[in-house]
């Protein structure tokens, strides 16, 4: 079935994203710093909206609605609320990072701990970002297929293709401008849809009466799960290239700090909206797939124009995350691998070309992975673990401690990454792999640091602005 009005709104939205890419490419991109870091000129609102739109992706919309429809009920909203809380400690890290004038997250590791740590962190970040990008393309493709009646595979190619094209053209400027618009669509689109969706189920009380017992329990997911989510977000946001790039691109450290705090407010206001939409879908359509809860609620319980806004919201959420993941993965390749190890004397124009080519390749790989239709939240949490578990301690100590052992970095990265992967392979709860991996990383770092200092081994050079 083709939904004409919602489809028209979504098409207009997608065309608008491409136009932003064209505008920023022609007017704002002159150097590789413009492409990768928006010329370090992002203001508070752009930083806050971009951080928010990047975090609210497929997992925080389609995934949360699916979890609410399934086992977690209303408590699925904690998946977003814990992310909002995690923005507060992140603000301190972002301010410190902006002061250092680095380009990428692995560069921090490389400056302090040397080549092995630098290269391994770069690879972990790239693999993680490709996985995250693929899941956002998957969620976007699901919505496009539901709207048009086209095969899912075609929807994935359209969503992935458009995200890739405007990111290639406009880089972080296009990303930031589209994120501002996308966050407005995400928040107000879903907020506008919610009363219509609940009303068409029969009202709030009727909806509650149709739900399984306990589905309105705010802590149904379990206290351990909620605490683990909070720890996971704190660790993975600090280690998230798509998050801290906003600090690198901010005008100054105060802008980075204030933008993160404002993002916490934005996300907190939004936290339980997708969960309520998932519950409404469960009350009205108890026999559909959980992954279809969001799209079904929008298309069958909301007026066409509201459905168009609501589905544009999910595309905004997923595409804003996908474009950042693609850009950051490609930036890490161009700056931390290509320029560092392959072509140290590469010109600025060459870095721009390599970054754009990398975005195209990563976009293609993301589309191929999305076609496998893997579980969004499972893959997202695996990607979070991969990028964060091992490098967490070296990165954090590298920012806030002046005297650290140079060899503690590589030991912690390997130990934490192995622990996180082992936890996942043993079939343990997937959120715990980040918690265990980062804890092992911290322990390995502290022990190695003490041993190395006792042996008078070389210390890491300071992280000073260049």
Question: Please, what's the largest Cα pairwise distance for the chain?
Answer: 72
Spatial neighbors of 175 by CB under 8 A, at least 6 apart, are: 38, 50, 167, 320, 323, 324, 327
Name the residue ranges covered by the structural domains of the chain: 4-388
Distance (Å, rounded) from C-alpha 130 to C-alpha 328?
10
Residue 317, pLDDT score: 67
Decide: helix, strand or coil at residue 305: helix
DSSP, collapsed to helix, strand or coil, labels residue 45 as helix
189: β partners: none
Q: Kindly give the confidence (pLDDT) of every residue in the chain, 466 residues in length, as a single tens digit, with 9 standing for 90 and above.
A: 556 777 787 788 778 877 877 887 777 778 888 888 888 888 999 999 889 987 886 678 888 999 999 989 999 999 999 999 999 999 988 888 887 777 888 988 998 999 999 999 999 999 999 999 998 898 888 878 877 778 889 989 998 998 898 888 878 787 788 778 878 888 888 888 899 999 999 999 999 999 998 999 999 988 988 988 898 888 888 888 878 888 888 898 899 999 999 999 999 999 999 999 999 999 999 999 888 898 889 889 988 888 777 777 667 667 777 888 898 899 999 999 999 999 999 999 999 999 999 999 999 999 999 999 887 778 888 888 888 889 999 998 988 888 999 899 999 999 999 999 999 888 776 667 888 899 999 999 999 999 999 999 888 888 766 5
C-alpha atoms less than 13 angstroms from C-alpha of 319 in its C-beta half-sphere = 42
Q: What is the pLDDT of residue 163?
A: 86
d(C-alpha 101, C-alpha 433), whole Å: 31
459, β-bridge pairs: 405
DSSP letter string, 342-373: I-TT--HHHHHHHHHHHHHHHHHHHHHHHTT-
Q: At the topology level of CATH, where does 4-388 sit?
A: Sodium/glucose cotransporter (1.20.1730)
The whole-number pLDDT of residue 329 equals 93
* Per-residue pLDDT at 245: 83
> 3-class DSSP state for residue 203?
coil
Contact 98, 252 (CB under 8 A): yes
Question: Alpha carbon of 378 to those of 335, 363, 366: distances in Å?
Answer: 30, 21, 16
Q: What is the pLDDT at residue 431? A: 64
DSSP state string for 58-78: TIIIIIHHHHHHTTSGGGGGH
| Residue 1 pLDDT | 54
Calpha distance 240→411 (Å, rounded): 21
Are 55 and 267 in contact, with CB atoms under 8 Å apart?
A: yes
Token duo for residue 93: 């890290």
Structure tokens that stand for 12 in this block = 């207009």
Q: Give the list of residues 6+ apart from residue 416 with CB closer than 8 angstroms, or none.
A: 389, 390, 391, 392, 393, 437, 438, 440, 441, 442, 444
């Amino acid at each position: 079935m083709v939904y004409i009005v919602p489809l028209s709104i979504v098409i207009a939205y997608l065309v608008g994203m491409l136009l932003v890419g064209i505008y920023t490419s022609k007017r704002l991109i002159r150097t590789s710093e413009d492409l990768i870091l928006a010329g370090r000129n992002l203001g508070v609102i752009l930083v806050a909206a971009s951080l928010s739109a990047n975090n609210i992706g497929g997992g925080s919309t389609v995934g949360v609605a699916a979890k609410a429809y399934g086992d977690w009920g209303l408590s699925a909203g904690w998946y977003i609320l814990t992310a909002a809380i995690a923005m507060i400690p992140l603000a301190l890290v972002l301010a410190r990072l902006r002061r250092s004038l680095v380009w990428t997250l692995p560069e921090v590791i490389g400056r302090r701990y040397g080549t092995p740590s630098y290269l391994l962190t770069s690879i972990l970040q790239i693999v993680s970002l490709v996985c995250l990008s693929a899941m956002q393309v998957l969620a976007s493709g699901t919505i496009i297929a539901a709207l048009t009646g086209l095969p899912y595979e075609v929807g994935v190619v359209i969503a992935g293709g458009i995200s890739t094209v405007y990111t290639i053209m406009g880089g972080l400027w296009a990303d930031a401008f589209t994120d501002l618009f996308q966050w407005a669509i995400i928040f107000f689109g879903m907020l506008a849809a919610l009363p219509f969706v609940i009303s068409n189920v029969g009202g709030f009380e009727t909806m509650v009466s149709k739900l399984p017992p306990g589905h309105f329990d705010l802590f149904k997911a379990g206290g351990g799960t909620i605490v683990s989510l909070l720890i996971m977000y704190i660790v993975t946001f600090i280690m998230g290239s798509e998050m801290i790039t906003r600090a690198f691109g901010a005008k100054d450290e105060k802008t980075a700090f204030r933008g993160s705090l404002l993002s916490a407010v934005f996300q907190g206001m939004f936290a339980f909206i997708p969960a309520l939409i998932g519950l409404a879908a469960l009350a009205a359509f108890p026999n559909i797939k959980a992954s279809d809860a969001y799209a079904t609620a929008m298309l069958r319980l909301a007026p066409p124009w509201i459905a168009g806004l609501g589905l544009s919201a999910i595309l905004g959420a997923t595409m804003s995350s996908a474009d950042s993941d693609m850009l950051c993965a490609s930036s890490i390749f161009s700056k931390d691998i290509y320029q560092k190890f392959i072509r140290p004397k590469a010109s600025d124009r060459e870095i721009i070309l390599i970054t754009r080519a990398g975005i195209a390749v990563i976009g293609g790989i993301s589309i191929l992975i999305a076609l496998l239709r893997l579980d969004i939240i499972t893959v997202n949490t695996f990607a979070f673990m991969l990028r964060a578990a091992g490098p967490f301690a070296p990165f954090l100590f590298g920012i806030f401690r002046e005297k650290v052992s140079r060899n503690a970095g590589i030991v912690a990265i390997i130990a934490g990454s192995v622990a996180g992967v082992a936890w996942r392979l043993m079939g343990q709860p997937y959120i715990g792999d980040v918690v265990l991996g980062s804890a092992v990383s911290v322990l390995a770092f502290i022990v190695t640091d003490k041993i190395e200092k006792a042996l008078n081994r070389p210390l890491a050079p300071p992280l000073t602005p260049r």
